[in-house]
Structure 1
Amino acid sequence: MKLYRIGEISQLYGISVDTLRHYEKMEILMPEQVSDSGYRYYSNRQIWQLNIIRTLRQLGIGLLDIRDYMSHRTLDKSQALVEFQLDTIDQKLRELNRLKQELEDRHYYFQESQQVKIGEIQLKTLPVRKVWIEMRDVRTVWEIDRLHKEIELNIEESRLSYFAWGRAGAFISEGDFHKGNHTHYNGSFIIDKLADKEIPAGDYLCMHFQGEYSQQNIDEQYFRIKNYMKKQALEIDGPVVEIYKLDIHETDDEQEYLTEIQIPVIAQEERLFLETKAK
């Protein structure tokens, strides 16, 4: 009967000597022989046992359960183990398929984000959007991000992963918009169909811009939109919505940041009519 020293088994299977000694200590894999000087020798019997142990470990089965199985194997226990393996593999396949779908969605999102027309101002009719909201004054992107994290943690089971899909944003009040306080935010939100509040449906003047969240860059974007609104005789009709499509969660290059500004608007004539009617 050919015997192998513990170092040979370690090299053959890529398992550390410490792990083999731990298996011995737990009485999961006992050497065929131990010499008077303490050298451990393994036979072919231990080799096929080690094959079984490795397979079970790859399936996430605990060492105590493995010890129980290896100590007294029967057909019933082997059949139950196979059934457990099949269930485990099915679960892993479901998890992998879910992960694959998430990665495919994320890949599509990146491609879609790269195809937007930067700087183009468009009037869009947007539907109601359900949102979780945290109304608190903040002035930096880091404070906004912290509020988003607080919102996420307050959601049951923290099932949201807001930073992945351009669903997180912040509000700027009408008053701050008129005053030119374009980096004074009075609330943050995460879009989620199960949320308890809403961003109203309506006409929104929308524009994507790229680049850092510096005062100069942001002011330039809002001045462009304000000039457009003046030429088109449009007035703001609610809080400004900023949505962060690509930001610190996707890139360290601030020039790659992608933000969408959405300003609810109403025609000056329509506003005048509504105000007159209200009187």
Structure 2
Amino acid sequence: MKLYRIGEISQLYGISVDTLRHYEKLGILMPEQVSDSGYRYYSNRQIWQLNIIRTLRQLGIGLMDIRDYLSHRTLEKSQALVEFQLDTIDQKLRELSRLKQELEDRHYYFQESQQVKVSEIKLKTLPARKVWIEMCEAQTIWEIDRLHKEIELNTEDSRLSYFAWGRAGAFISEGDFHKGNHAHYSGSFIIDKLADKEIPAGDYLCMHFQGEYSRQNIDEQYFRIKDYMQFHSLTLAGPVVEIYKLDIHETDDEREYLTEIQIPVSL
């Protein structure tokens, strides 16, 4: 009977010697022989068992359950194990399918965001949108992001994930808008159909802008919109809405940030 030293088994399976010793300590995989000098030798029987152990570990089965199975294998236990493996694989396939769909949606969102016409001002009639709101003042994107995180954590079961989908934003009060305090935010929100509040439906003057959240860049965008409002005799009809389409969650390059300004107006 051919025997293999522990180092050979380690190299053959890419499993550390320490792991093999741990399996031995737990009584999961015992060497065929241990020499007087302490060298451990494994036979084909242990190699076969190691194949089973690796398969079961890949399925997330605990070491103690593996030890129980290997200590007294029966046809009934083997059949139950196969059924468990099939159920586990089905579950993993469902999880992978959900992940694939999420990644495909995310990929589409990135492509769609890059097709936006930056700096174009358009009047849109928008429906009411359900939102979770945290009415707390903020002046930087980092403060706003922290408020979004608080909203996410306070949502039931913390099921809400706001980033990368253009559903997170902040409000600028009517007073700050008129005063030119375009980087002073009165509250933050996350759009969610199960939320308890809403941004009202109505006519909104909408514009996407790209770039950093510096005071100079923000003021430049709002001055353009105010000039447009004055030229078309439009008046502010509520708090200003900013929605962050691409931001710190997608890129470290501030030049790639994409923000949509939505200003409720009366005609």
TM superposition score category, shorter chain reference: over 0.9
1:181-235 C-alpha deviation (Å, 9 max, x unpaired) = 1011001000000000000001100000000000000000000000001111111
Q: Residue 96 of structure 1 aligns to a residue in which SS?
A: helix
Residues 1:122 and 2:127 are matched in the alignment: no
**Residue in 2 that maps onto 1:47:** 47
Deviation at 1:139, TM superposition (A): 1.1
**Residue in 2 that maps onto 1:138:** 138
**Residue in 1 that maps onto 2:78:** 78
Deviation at 1:32, TM superposition (A): 0.5
Tell me, in whole angstroms, the C-alpha distance in 2 between the residues paired with 1:227 and 1:197: 31
Tell me, in whole angstroms, the C-alpha distance in 2 between the residues paired with 1:122 and 1:106: 26
Residues 1:253 and 2:247 are matched in the alignment: no
Letter of the 1:89 partner, please give it. Answer: I
**Residue in 2 that maps onto 1:242:** 242
Tell me, in whole angstroms, the C-alpha distance in 2 between the residues paired with 1:262 and 1:164: 19
**Residue in 1 that maps onto 2:34:** 34
Tell me, in whole angstroms, the C-alpha distance in 2 between the residues paired with 1:172 and 1:96: 40
Deviation at 1:77, TM superposition (A): 0.2
**Residue in 2 that maps onto 1:87:** 87
Query: Where do residues 103-252 of structure 1 align in structure 2 (5 Å cutoff)?
Result: 103-252=103-252
**Residue in 2 that maps onto 1:270:** none
Tell me, in whole angstroms, the C-alpha distance in 1 between the residues paired with 2:143 and 2:10: 52
Q: Residue 169 of structure 2 aligns to a residue in which SS?
A: strand
Deviation at 1:141, TM superposition (A): 1.0
Deviation at 1:250, TM superposition (A): 0.3
Number of paired residues?
267
Deviation at 1:144, TM superposition (A): 0.6
Give the TM-score normalised by the residue count of structure 2. 0.99
Q: Residue 183 of structure 2 aligns to a residue in which SS?
A: coil
Letter of the 1:165 partner, please give it. Answer: W
**Residue in 2 that maps onto 1:272:** none
Runs of 4+ in structure 1 off by over 3 angstroms are none
Tell me, in whole angstroms, the C-alpha distance in 2 between the residues paired with 1:154 and 1:37: 61
Q: Residue 164 of structure 1 aligns to a residue in which SS?
A: coil
Tell me, in whole angstroms, the C-alpha distance in 1 between the residues paired with 2:175 and 2:165: 29
Q: Residue 162 of structure 1 aligns to a residue in which SS?
A: coil
Tell me, in whole angstroms, the C-alpha distance in 2 between the residues paired with 1:159 and 1:179: 38
1:39-71 C-alpha deviation (Å, 9 max, x unpaired) = 100000001000000000000000000000000
**Residue in 2 that maps onto 1:69:** 69
Letter of the 2:187 partner, please give it. Answer: G
**Residue in 1 that maps onto 2:10:** 10
Letter of the 1:82 partner, please give it. Answer: V
Letter of the 2:128 partner, please give it. Answer: V
Letter of the 1:168 partner, please give it. Answer: A
Tell me, in whole angstroms, the C-alpha distance in 2 between the residues paired with 1:231 and 1:164: 35
Tell me, in whole angstroms, the C-alpha distance in 2 between the residues paired with 1:100 and 1:34: 49
Letter of the 1:174 partner, please give it. Answer: E
Tell me, in whole angstroms, the C-alpha distance in 1 between the residues paired with 2:16 and 2:157: 39
Segments of 5+ residues of structure 1 without an aligned counterpart are 268-279
Deviation at 1:164, TM superposition (A): 1.9
Deviation at 1:157, TM superposition (A): 1.4
Letter of the 1:191 partner, please give it. Answer: I
Deviation at 1:138, TM superposition (A): 1.3
Tell me, in whole angstroms, the C-alpha distance in 2 between the residues paired with 1:69 and 1:165: 46
Q: Residue 182 of structure 1 aligns to a residue in which SS?
A: coil
Tell me, in whole angstroms, the C-alpha distance in 1 between the residues paired with 2:7 and 2:146: 52
Deviation at 1:155, TM superposition (A): 0.4
Give RMSD over aligned pairs. Answer: 0.5
Q: Residue 233 of structure 1 aligns to a residue in which SS?
A: coil
Deviation at 1:179, TM superposition (A): 0.7
Letter of the 1:185 partner, please give it. Answer: Y
